[in-house]
Structure 1
């Protein structure tokens, strides 16, 4: 009897330690509906993410998402490509990702990186807040390889974080420290295609 109780207790233990998080997958409108779900692993955290895309002077389009995610790649930070900004927040208690992440509207911090505009990646981007690294990434969309460059938080540039965020910022991401260290080489696609690519990537979360 004691043996059966022990086995049942061991089987229930991992489940008892898993978090419950809000999950929502963005629809075409960019909005999503929260559903409370139990994470599948004890090594999960609750995450909330907002992607803002800018076109001219108009109000940025927001794409929001929430999910359980691996703890090792779950960070608080942001990536700024100039025409888009991704902000991520993580937490470690039940249903702690109740709020959507908002744009921190940080002021420039003095760091500068290259960003891509049209076919060229020579535009200066002023990094904001804790974005003290430059980032470059290459994503595949419709058979084309697209280049993105910009600023990123140190925590986002962690190897595990880059792997966790690859559906949003691309699987071929790399970071460097120092003004304009992400080089000024040409991009392979224009802004409209980059925006389309980013939107599709976010919808795959």
Structure 2
């Protein structure tokens, strides 16, 4: 009798249809070809608006794709020479992620401090803002060089770095003032390019590369 009830329950359950979402992950040019896709059952439709500011110059990206609930957050990463703010939105109906989001806000200084890299000096300190409650260290290969970056980051950004190694990055976070170490790692790639830190002389191309890397890490 119990088996019969189970079989009837399965037969009578409404059919679960995959959620359809707009999909558009920006490439190196900042643009993408928007398509639609069927998303896994554990995901939602998501949109993200990212704004980076470097020395008064802004770089903006908008993306849409299937996301898990933990990828729906607002936060920022401040590396001293560039600060990137993320505003995300998730929804649960077909093609609901069509709208462009407004830019996210940084917030006021929160009293926390982290190390940052200015030129070849990673002993400089940086004041964190808003919900940037963690210190972050990033090592990434860009333009055939190993680049070290340090600064402040929101907790939820630090929680979404599990795919960093896939994209050739090493990302670590810690909680506590100046916990991200003033020293720089002496590392090289397989082709043994020079190792350097990044400060105000960073090229626009390198900025775009690192920014897109962060997006890929967060939304993969």
Q: Deviations over 1:88-135 (max 9, x none)?
A: 524241244323351313221111112222222233222121111111
1:168 and 1:65 map into 2 onto residues whose CA distance is 20
Question: Please, which runs of 5 or more residues in structure 2 have no aligned partner?
Answer: 1-7, 185-194
Distance 1:96 1:175, change over 3 A: farther
Describe the SS at the equivalent of 1:104.
coil
In the alignment, is residue 52 of structure 1 matched against residue 51 of structure 2?
yes
Q: TM-score, normalised by structure 1?
A: 0.73
- What is the 5 A alignment of 1:36-185? 36-39=36-39, 41-58=40-57, 60-71=58-69, 73-76=70-73, 77-82=75-80, 83-94=82-93, 95-97=95-97, 98-100=99-101, 102-158=103-159, 161-163=160-162, 166=164, 171-185=169-183
Q: CA deviation at 1:136?
A: 1.0
Cα distance change, pair 75–173 in 1 and its aligned pair in 2 (3 A) = farther
2:210 to 190, 198, 201: 198
The answer to which of 89-98 and 132-141 deviates more is 89-98
Distance 1:151 1:175 in 2: 9
SS at match of 2:140: strand
1:12-51 to structure 2, matched below 5 A, reads 12-13=15-16, 16=17, 18-27=18-27, 29-32=29-32, 34-39=34-39, 41-51=40-50
3-state DSSP of counterpart to 2:209: helix
2:196 is equivalent to residue 188 of structure 1:
yes
CA contact (8 A) 1:125 1:150 kept: yes
Indicate the RMSD between aligned Cα atoms, in angstroms: 3.6
Q: Greater CA radius of gyration, 1 or 2?
A: 2
Cα distance change of structure 1 residues 202 and 153 upon mapping to structure 2, 3 Å threshold: closer
TM-score scaled to structure 2, two decimals? 0.69
Task: Report deviation, 1:38.
Answer: 2.6
Q: Distance in 1 between matches of 2:78 and 2:87?
A: 12
C-alpha change, 1:169 and 1:118, in structure 2 (3 Å) is: farther
Cα distance, 1:178 vs. partner?
Answer: 1.0
